[in-house]
Structure 1
Amino acid sequence: MRFRRGTRRAASTTAAQRAADRVFLPIAIGQILASAETLSLKHVFDDDGYLRGVSAQEYPPGSLRHRLGRTLDHPRTPKVLAGVTLAAATGLALGRGNRKLQIAASAVIGACNRLSEIRTPYGRDGADQMTAVITQYRALTALIPDQKVSDDLFLRAVNFQTALSYAVSGISKAFGSSWVQGHALPEILETEAYGRGPAAQILRRYPRFSRAVTVGTIVWEGSFPLIYLLPRKQASYALAAVKSFHVGVAATMELPRFVWGFFGSHGAVGHVLDTRGEPRTFEKAVLGTAGGVALASALIAREKRKVAEQRRLGPKGVMRLDGEIGAVEYVVNHPPGGPDRSRPVVVMECGLGQSLESWEWVAESLALDHTVVRYHRAGYGLTKSRASSGDILEAVLEEVGAKGEIVVVTHSIGSLSAASYVQDPRFAHRIGKLVVVDGTDPELLDADRSDRRRFGNFLQIQVHSLFAAVTGIYLWAPNGVERQAGYTPDTQFSHVQFAFAPRNVINSISEYAKVSTEGALDSLGAVAEVLVISSGEHAEQQQTFAKKIGAGIEVVHGSAHRSVIGYRHHAEKVEGAIRRFIHAK
């Protein structure tokens, strides 16, 4: 019985070693070619070459890290690293069946490649990244004392990374309009770097075939995990087809090193296909853990959004108007001494998908001597009404008793909301001044919406936001909403939860697609006095927009589209410009 158990263990180890050999031989070939290429290059690693070292730039001169970086950035360093890698890769190629040699060579290759990446963090492709994953995984799993567990974990980790890389790549392409429309590969072939080879010329000659390959890439990459459901023979055919694809890409773009990292990863995929059905596997553990974490994250995010909504309805929160047009969420800030009827009421329009809290810093200061009204447009937050912005605004102003002059202040796409009512007979005689903060140019919006690629890019961003909202990823990872806002903790919490509420994300997609631009420039330009306040990020674009509507312009230098009102020091400049504009005679 002992003999049989030992035989079975030896057979299992031998199978894992054979799989490791299939992983490392392509890796060794790829590294030998890469090292030889590096050793043959001249001048590109010099201080003025395009592959010059840049690692020392991150650290202050004179520091230890800066001195180490200068050594790494030296023009001869890549040749030294390439020589070491060449020796290790040669050993790896000759070391079939030698587990210890493969581990040692992997550690050396992984370290050299990592140092090269730190020295020059560009010029690498997906195959280079896969090679790094394989060599680093082998070095790390070698720390596990049990050889069988170590080898099995190494192969399964590489397999999992391979399947994930293909699937994520396909899904990402599916949200890129140039890929979905079949334009991505033809566009790549038009570049000087990738379009000179004979294969590229053939593909340019047959654009339909080129587009079919482009769309087909999305399909096979996104569906790669289905390979584990195929019988072993058919799965082998599928892997062979994937290899053919990589060879085709390498031939078309003249990238002889492109295939080897991927070929190596297929050895690990084959190991997993051969061991399907085992009760406990790395893949099952990872998927189960990831699924549990994602579910917990989604539930936590859902509860936080509920808390934020309850806070909004609290005694210090917003108000809700339930009238004939439906429920409307709004907030009114009065001067400390109460409403001053001699001064105009300031109405603030929010940006796309943004909460009324986004105006907090500006509203807080303006409310020292003006009544400030903020509300959520149709479909956002607690506003269930689907009425027009003009109808909602009329109901809110009537509710708060605002009868006199109005100054409208908008941010982003809020300028188009204002355009829909500034010439409305109900408001035209009351709105004498309009402030547009980083406003949406209706002509540019029309151009973006009519261009399928640009519209696809917008949808891609929104779908990513929706995914982050549903899964709760935004709670644990940095996001653009938090990076460009710095409100007080309570306000920041409400603002972020609002931006990542699935309903608000979906509503922002709808508003972007449906908001009317007809006559918007004329309506905005017809207001007696208009001021454009631009972020530093969009200064040139806003200059053009200001000319179109005959407005003056002020630029808040150093600010971005959201941070122009999200950071207090930027918002103070915006508030100061608004105040000077309102009080100007």
Structure 2
Amino acid sequence: MLSRTRGVRTRRRHASPGDDIDTAFRRVERLTAVGATISAAELLTTARSLNDDGLFGWPINRTRMFGLNRGIGRHLEKLLRYPQVVAVVQTRLLSGLGLLAPGTGRRGRAAALAGMAGSGAALNLRSNYGLDGSDHFAFINFTVALLEKLYPNDRRAREAALAFIAAQSCLAYFTSGAVKMTSPVWRSGDAITGVFRTKTYGDKFVYDLTKNNKPLAQAIAWGTMIAEVLFPLVLVAPRPIAKAILAGGMAFHVGNARFMGLNRFFWSFVATYPAVAYFSKSLGVADRARIAEEGSR
């Protein structure tokens, strides 16, 4: 009877599905998958843009790296040439749907994450045109989540993987704000009107609102810089302030999606918030206590 009890305790101690770390990773994976799946679906609707006869074709893009023109590059050509590369995008779409499907277990999620990480690496190798911070963060989220699946019984390793995502998130916000503060264009507010008058990231409403209102443009610029620099305080701030920081971050990305067209940034960056919340002094403790209570029932 005693040995049986010990066996049950051992299984509980090593069981990973359903624990607090797995819950946080599941949220990270699903949120990131939303943006990546939408992006893959959009790319499939314009798959002919990947044709090798165009500027984004593999014959031209492989000249970026000398090594891609010989050796391993010749083998990659079988995968990255058109129309074979369309299968890579299709794999990404199916992998994203797998992560979003309810009830997908850890093994299924691991397979889907491998598809996401592999397809992301392949598409990035084929062409880095149009890629931005959201793509890089999505790759980090998927790859680190995949690595976590390799250590189902090592809580310390799994927690370290989650900490890496949280650290990357805090570092990304802080460095973005700190770099902006070194720019006189940002400190003066001119960056706001400069960005919103462009065709790529601009918005006529915001531009008209700020072009003749320098105090407003300056307030938006400084508000952005201060919010980004202070984001890491979410780790030590009291619960109401920590929740406000995360809510402010979400609102920031919603605004960027609406007025600058940076839709993918919302999903990639907000997807890191479950990891950040896990290590928050106020949010993480409460969340882990709730999950532990549910698991003991």
Bin the TM-score by the shorter chain.
0.7 to 0.9
Candidates 1, 17, 20, aligned match of 1:15: 20
Partner amino acid for 2:268?
G
Summarize the Cα distance change of 1:182–1:24 in structure 2 as closer, same or farther, 3 Å threshold. Answer: same
Partner amino acid for 1:56?
R
Summarize the Cα distance change of 1:201–1:113 in structure 2 as closer, same or farther, 3 Å threshold. Answer: farther
Equivalent in the alignment of 1:583: none
Candidates 43, 48, 62, aligned match of 1:56: 62
Summarize the Cα distance change of 1:13–1:205 in structure 2 as closer, same or farther, 3 Å threshold. Answer: farther
CA RMSD of aligned residues (A): 3.0
Summarize the Cα distance change of 1:231–1:83 in structure 2 as closer, same or farther, 3 Å threshold. Answer: same
Equivalent in the alignment of 2:112: 105
Partner amino acid for 2:51?
D
**TM-score normalised by structure 1 residue count:** 0.43
Structure showing greater Rg? 1
Contact 1:178–1:184 at 8 Å: present in 2 too? yes
Tell me, yes or no, if structure 1 residue 133 matches structure 2 residue 126: no
| Structure 1 residues not aligned, in runs of 5+ | 278-585
Of 229-238 and 127-136, deviating more is: 229-238
Whole-angstrom CA distance in 2 between matches of 1:96 and 1:198? 43
Whole-angstrom CA distance in 2 between matches of 1:7 and 1:216? 47
Whole-angstrom CA distance in 2 between matches of 1:86 and 1:204? 41
Shift of 1:183: 1.8
Whole-angstrom CA distance in 2 between matches of 1:271 and 1:60? 42
Shift of 1:106: 1.3
Identity %: 26
Contact 1:171–1:218 at 8 Å: present in 2 too? yes
Aligned partner of residue 264 in structure 2, secondary structure: coil
What are the superposed Cα offsets for residues 247-276 of structure 1, whole Å, 9 maximum, x if unpaired?
101111123322100111111111112446
**Which structure exhibits the higher relative contact order, with contacts defined as CA atoms closer than 8 Å and separated by 6 or more residues?**
2
Whole-angstrom CA distance in 2 between matches of 1:61 and 1:4? 52
Whole-angstrom CA distance in 1 between matches of 2:204 and 2:53? 28
What are the superposed Cα offsets for residues 131-167 of structure 1, whole Å, 9 maximum, x if unpaired?
1111111222333352433432222111111111111
Summarize the Cα distance change of 1:59–1:66 in structure 2 as closer, same or farther, 3 Å threshold. Answer: farther
Q: Give the aligned length.
A: 277
Contact 2:257–2:266 at 8 Å: present in 1 too? yes
Whole-angstrom CA distance in 1 between matches of 2:10 and 2:122? 44
Candidates 35, 39, 47, aligned match of 1:34: 39
Aligned partner of residue 272 in structure 2, secondary structure: helix
What are the superposed Cα offsets for residues 101-135 of structure 1, whole Å, 9 maximum, x if unpaired?
22221121011011111110231121111111111
Whole-angstrom CA distance in 1 between matches of 2:142 and 2:257? 22
Whole-angstrom CA distance in 2 between matches of 1:101 and 1:197? 45
Q: How does 1:273-312 map to 2 (within 5 A)?
A: 273=280, 274-275=283-284
Shift of 1:68: 3.1
Partner amino acid for 1:108?
G
Candidates 119, 122, 125, aligned match of 2:126: 119
Summarize the Cα distance change of 1:264–1:163 in structure 2 as closer, same or farther, 3 Å threshold. Answer: same
Contact 2:16–2:22 at 8 Å: present in 1 too? no
Equivalent in the alignment of 1:239: 246
| Structure 2 residues not aligned, in runs of 5+ | 287-297
**TM-score normalised by structure 2 residue count:** 0.81
Tell me, yes or no, if structure 1 residue 45 matches structure 2 residue 50: yes
Q: How does 1:180-579 map to 2 (within 5 A)?
A: 180-196=187-203, 198=205, 202=209, 204=211, 207-273=214-280, 274-275=283-284
Whole-angstrom CA distance in 1 between matches of 2:88 and 2:39? 11
Whole-angstrom CA distance in 2 between matches of 1:143 and 1:10? 14
Whole-angstrom CA distance in 1 between matches of 2:211 and 2:62? 43
Summarize the Cα distance change of 1:128–1:11 in structure 2 as closer, same or farther, 3 Å threshold. Answer: closer
Shift of 1:32: 1.3
Summarize the Cα distance change of 1:73–1:105 in structure 2 as closer, same or farther, 3 Å threshold. Answer: closer
What are the superposed Cα offsets for residues 65-94 of structure 1, whole Å, 9 maximum, x if unpaired?
342354454232442221101100001001
